[in-house]
Amino acid sequence: MQEIRFHGRGGQGAVIASKILAKALFFEDRYAQAFPTFGAERRGAPVAAFVRADDSFINIRSRVITPDFVVVMAARLIESVPVTGGLKSDGIILINSDLPATEFNFAGDDQPQTKPPFQVITINLNRIALEFGLGTEMMPLINAPVLGALAKVSGLVKPESLVRALPDFIPARLEDNEKALYAAYEKAGN
């Protein structure tokens, strides 16, 4: 089973992204489960959403605490939310940021020089979203490109399956979202 945790701000599309990912996994004949942290739907508040993927029905219903992949949709959340909590040592954290990955030091306070075991990958998804006219400078809409980037770095799902899942969840500007998804897929992890 693979477990994915999305961290975002209310209104940024973390919950929608988790649903699109689950549907894409479904299209690949896998069992998927997606659910949000419940009750914190205020715009701007930190939210998390969870996806599990497996080859048989998923019974567990508690939130993901030892993810294989963490996605941080707003880099500043790292200051207030323990985003790497439980991240597996061979896991990956994908951060939406214009800074290089080396700028993010998740080492423990007691051992500031220790490099964390998991992999840190950054990508500027805001810029990709804005290139395709998705959202505004204040609130770029990154849920399609974030999934493209995740698909690339995780190998969890094909970008074509994500594109197939988009129409159920993204009501407008589908073509621009598809392009942004592929652009992020091409760019991520390079």
Alpha helices in the chain, H assignment, sequence order? 14-27, 125-131, 143-154, 159-165, 174-187
Our finding on whether 162 is near another protein (CB under 8 A) is no
Nearest approach, Cβ of residue 1 and another protein (Å): 10
Nearer to another protein, 58 or 139 (CB): 58
Single out the residue of 12, 33, 143, 154 in contact with another protein (rule: CB under 8 A).
33
The alpha carbons of the chain give a radius of gyration, in whole angstroms, of 15
161 touches another protein (CB under 8 A): no
Residue 39 binds to another protein (criterion: CB under 8 A): yes
Size of the site for another protein (CB under 8 A): 20
Q: Give CA separation, 38 vs 50, 83, 96, in Å.
A: 11, 17, 23
Stretch that binds another protein, among 31-39, 92-100, 123-131, 182-190 (CB under 8 A): 31-39
Indicate whether 38 belongs to the interface with another protein (CB under 8 A): yes
Q: Which of residues 49-68 bind another protein (CB under 8 A)?
A: 57-63, 65
Say if CB 30 and CB 55 are below 8 A apart. yes
Position among 10, 11, 28, 31 found at the interface with another protein (CB under 8 A): 31
What is d(CA 84, CA 117) in angstroms, rounded to the nearest whole number? 11
106 part of the interface to another protein, by CB under 8 A: no
Cβ closest to another protein, residue 3 vs residue 97:
3
Compare residues 5 and 179 and give the one whose CB is closer to another protein. 5
Distance, CA of 142 to CA of 13 (rounded, Å): 7
- Looking at the Cβ atoms of 50 and 104, the one nearer to another protein is 50
Tokens of 83: 């985003």
The number of CA neighbours under 13 Å toward the Cβ of 53 is 23
Q: Which residue has the tokens 């998740």?
A: 106
**φ, ψ (nearest 5 deg) of residue 156:** -70, -35
Interface positions with another protein (CB under 8 A): 19, 22-23, 26, 31-36, 38-39, 57-63, 65
